[in-house]
Amino acid sequence: DAGVIQSPRHEVTEMGQEVTLRCKPISGHNSLFWYRQTMMRGLELLIYFNNNVPIDDSGMPEDRFSAKMPNASFSTLKIQPSEPRDSAVYFCASSFEGGNQPQHFGDGTRLSIL
Amino acid sequence: QKEVEQNSGPLSVPEGAIASLNCTYSDRGSQSFFWYRQYSGKSPELIMSIYSNGDKEDGRFTAQLNKASQYVSLLIRDSQPSDSATYLCAVLNFGNEKLTFGTGTRLTIIP
């Protein structure tokens, strides 16, 4: 079975540019999560969706960050304008809805803002 | 106070020995507990889940949960160099889908 698919795997861009990260969850999973991981702060939850609806975006650092889930098989995380401090690895994860269900992670996008 | 705490390590264990990884959490309403393994440059990979007090064994891995003490641990028997990784403890809080992660323990198995 295909796991969570993220693209691109690596992104290098200059500050001020728009960055769009993409995620395809595991088929049948109805919860989707966006995380950011840095050495300093570890793994942080940015936002999560349930049945394509944003449930909690309290982890989104600021208005420069936005996320959408137009359908059950696709989500985007956008940063506009990007800044060097946004450099991190961004992970997408998905799970079945339900309190006991574990999350399965994609391979991540390594983002570098110059 | 951090919600999920782990010793960051590094923890060095000789090959063949038992590696013991510990995690404490602050929310008494937590119901589900997970251990993820993350190799350098890779994504977190689920290795164990535990939901009730006691021990749960899966191959060389044993997860232990004590809700009264708000403590969860992971034991790795017969440690192998391939077990060298960062181990993340994650706690799912009652009533929502959010996983809270610890900062991870870096484990090194010494041949």
Q: Which of A31-35, A72-76, A101-105 has the lowest mean pLDDT?
A: A101-105
What integer pLDDT is reported at residue A99 of this predicted model?
A: 59
Selecting from B34, B43, B97 the residue whose C-beta is nearest the C-beta of A48 gives: B97
- Chain A contact for B66 (CB, 8 A cutoff): no
Residues of B in contact with A91 (CB under 8 A): 43-44
Mean pLDDT of A32-48: 93
CA distance A92 to chain B (A): 10
- Chain B contact for A25 (CB, 8 A cutoff): no
What is the C-alpha to C-alpha distance for residues B26 and B101, in angstroms, rounded to an integer?
12
Q: Are B5 and B102 in contact (CB under 8 A)?
A: yes
What integer pLDDT is reported at residue B28 of this predicted model?
A: 87
- State both tokens at B55: 């021990």
At B5, the pLDDT band (50, 70, 90 cuts) reads very high
Q: Are A90 and A10 in contact (CB under 8 A)?
A: no
What is the C-alpha to C-alpha distance for residues B37 and B87, in angstroms, rounded to an integer?
5
Q: Are A108 and A89 in contact (CB under 8 A)?
A: yes
Mean model confidence pLDDT for chain B: 93
Where b means 16+ CB within 10 Å and e means fewer, A90-101 reads bbbbbbeeeeeb
pLDDT tens track for B10-69: 999 999 999 999 999 998 888 899 999 999 999 999 999 999 999 999 999 999 999 999
